[in-house]
A and B are shown apart, each in its own frame.
Chain A
């Protein structure tokens, strides 16, 4: 039953953790009260009943089953990666007695490292999904959404799911392995309701609004460090899909010159420029494998 994640709504590692949903709803409500244009946008474009949104819902159902049956058994475990990295270091550098840093300091350092390294690798994989033609074939399933809603987050081709799972296992495994090598059993994560502190902050600050039409911004200065929901919405537009690859941090976009910041526009055109839209869930699943799909 562990694989069925029945308690996921209470799992703060999940994007759909109840508190994140509540916080997104609260932020969205406030936004809609004070920004009537956005309210109009939701009505005018029929965001929730749009063909693209309906496709999201169907895709969500199908991919949930695919994930459990086909993807989970394939995925590499970060636990195994961590052990491999620690043993590799022990064999090649030599065994070291755990360094005498206090557990509190190690926990802070480890929590931060997990978050930063995780976000960094996420940036680069996301960027690769756009710049490598073969990967773009799969990633454009996600970008084919013409309207955004929280379930668009799950509009991801299973191949991309596997790649992100692999990225996660390797990055978490690597960081954990290095920390296990230097600090042994001292490592731990600062958690709030069970999630990494930074993941929690990211979740509570409106992670679920990334895939929405609520143009929440953090301001010009903060948006060089943290990706706001609006910046991610810009990434989903036809003209700016090669900008703002960041997951939680905009820092990488800033450093590697893919950052885009602009004042709020009410109407953004999402989806794929000059490309045929997927007509069915089945097509979303098989077309990336077809020749000439890029």
Chain B
């Protein structure tokens, strides 16, 4: 590198502009690939964007914190976007109200399955305690999962990565699983994806239909709520039960 280029690099790597621009460029590239792949779920734009950015950070030796100083402006929009979910919820309210009883039962069944199976499978295969407690809240939206992980003895930032992985897995394979189970109803489809794969599943469900998206948003909100309230007292109890 000539001295001039090096100077430019030193300057750019110290401002938030680079991290922000790279995040948007990576997403544009990923979305272009997703579109070219005919919106095939395997070409998930979150997965491709993260792969591009992680490769760039590792190749240039850039610390994650430096990158995040810029990317935080995108990350911040998760807050208002979560609030905005009230609008599709409102639009689907008559259908949601009509299904309230079944939705609540499916919520409890799905939420417990998501947390306990993650813990159980991880424990059987010998994951460390910190990893297990970071896995348990992996199906709920990032900010709730990080808070829960902290309270039960997991690592919040590892939890964020596991949450996003669970989201991508549900977004990529959800439709294939539901087709195999002969689920045709967009309401059921959206609700199941929202329980297992929070916001990333919800983003994918909105591409299926507005109804699927609204049910996914409701499932995500409710699962976040009951997970935040229940896991902090369920997990110590589960641990005692299996340790003894």
- Bound together: no
Binding site for B on A (CB under 8 A): none
